[in-house]
Amino acid sequence: MSRVAHPAGPRHGDVLPADHPPTPPADLNALHPAIWPRGALRVGGVLTLGGIDVRDLAARFGTPALIMDEADVRGRAREYVDAFGGDAQVYYASKAFCSRAVLRWVTEEGLGVDVCTGGELAVALSAGVDPALITLHGNNKLPAEIERAVSAGVGHIVVDSYEEIARLAYHAEALGKRPRVLVRVTTGVEAHTHEFMATAHDDQKFGFSLASGAADEAVRRVLALPQLDFAGLHSHIGSQIFDTGGFEVAAHRVLELAGRIHAEHGVHVAELDLGGGFGIAYVPEDDAPEVKDLASSLRSIVASQCLVLGIPVPRLTIEPGRAIVGPSTVTLYEVGTIKDVDGIRTYVSVDGGMSDNVRTALYDASYTCALASRSSAAPPMLSRVVGRHCESGDIVVKDCYLPSDLGPGDLLAVAATGAYCRSLASNYNHLPRPGVVAVADGAAREIVRRETLDDLLRLDVG
C-alpha cells in the first residue's frame, strides 16, 4: 500500500493548518511527559498504562476504551491541596468526568466536589461524598434539584439569577433549612480560549454582571432574605486557560465588589471562589501553568487587593476539573480503514469517533496520538485520525504524524482524554458509549461499564 510519508517534513502542497508543527517529531515513539499520564511508559516498544500492556487492556475490555491512571488523578488532586494550603478549599469540577470511583478518589485526597445538575449531585451522594463538601452550580436549576440539594445539606449553592434567589428562599423556608449561598459574578474579563468556553463576558447566560450593577443587586436580595446565608462571591472566567492574568483581573474586580458590600452592608465576604478552567497540555506546544505558580499568584493578588481595600482576606476556593482528570486518561482505539489522499494526508479510521470525543468537532480541539501496540522505525506520514460516524466532521485528531507502516488492527492511543470526552459522549449513529477502565499498580477494573446494543434497545420502548 502506498502511503504519504514525510521523512523530512511536509511536501510542497501539503495541506496543514496554521498552528500545525512544520516538521514531524524526531521520534514517533516518544511520549511527551506533559501530555501523557505520569505512569505511561513504553516497554519493549509497547505502551503500558498503570503497569499494564495496552494490548492486554484492549483484549480484556475492548476498544474504544478510556484508560484512567488512578495514581495520576490522586497525585494531581494532592498537588492542588498542597499548593493552595489548608486555609483554602479545592473542589473537583465533576462535569469534567463524573463517576463514583473518581469522586471517592478526589475526596479521599482532600477535595470537595462541585456539581451542576441533579444527576451529578446524585452520583456524588451515591459515592458517599459529605454533602457539606458539595457545591451546586447551574444557570437553570430545576425546583426538584434545588429541593434535593437543600434537603441533603450541600455546603454551597451558587445562585445565578434573580428568579433563582427567590426560588431557593422558597424551598429553604419550606424545608426549614438555611443554605449557604455564593453569588456568581460576571466580571467582563476576556478569557483567551474558545468562544464557547469563555464564561465571564456579559453577553452569555451565566452570572450577574458587575458592569450593569446586577451583581450588587443580587447580593442585596440575598442579604434581605433571612432564609439564605450569604457566604460569598463566585467567579469563573472560562476553560482551558493558560494565561493566569485573566484570573488576576477577575479577582481584582470581584474583590472591589466585596469592598462595596462591606461599605454598604457592613458584611465581610467570607469566601471567594475563583472557579477553575486551568489549562492542560494536549499537544507539545501547550504551556500549561504550574500548580504552585498558579496558587502563589492567586493568593498574592487576593491578599494585596484586600489590604488595599481594608477588608479581611476571604477564604479562597478554586474548582479544577480538567486539570485533575484530563491528563490521567488515554483513549485506546483499533485502526480499521486507512485511506491515502495523495499529496495531502492519510486518513486513519478508528472504531470510535465523535461519539466518544466530540471536542475536536465542537471546539476545534487538538490532540496528540501515538501507535501504542508496537514501536515503529518507519518514516512518518501526515495523518488525520477519524471516526466511523456518518459525518465529514467526525475527526478525532486533526493532524498528526504516524508511522507509514500503520495497518488495520494496530492500536492507537489518544492522550489527555480524561476531561469532557466521556462526559460529552453520545450514542450518535447508535454506537454504544465506551467504558472507562481504571489502572493502578498493574491491576485494571472497569469503573464505568461499556454500553451494549442491549442497553440501547432497552431504552427504545416504542
Residue among 66, 125, 75 at smallest CA distance from 96: 66
Q: How far is CA 356 from CA 123, 205, 339, 412, 438, in A?
A: 21, 27, 22, 14, 17
Q: Under a CB-based contact definition with an 8 Å cutoff, are residues 286 and 262 in contact?
A: no
* Phi, psi dihedral angles at 78 (to 5 degrees): -65, -35
Closest to 3 (Cα-Cα) out of 325, 331, 394, 406:
406
- Annotated catalytic residue 390: yes
Which residues lie closer than 8 Å to 449 by C-beta, 6 or more apart? 435
Which stretches does DSSP call E strand in 299-455? Answer: 315-318, 329-341, 345-350, 369-371, 380-386, 395-403, 411-415, 435-440, 443-448
Of 306, 390, 400, 421, the catalytic one is 390
Integer Cα distance of 459 and 386 in angstroms: 28
User: Is residue 263 a contact partner of residue 219, using CB atoms and an 8 Å limit?
Assistant: no
Between the alpha carbon of residue 203 and those of residues 68, 186, 197, 224, 237, the distances in Å are 37, 10, 13, 28, 13
CA-CA distance, 215 to 252, in Å (whole number)? 15
| Beta carbons within 10 angstroms of residue 248's beta carbon | 18
- DSSP state at residue 353: -
DSSP assignment letter at 313? P
Active site residues: 390
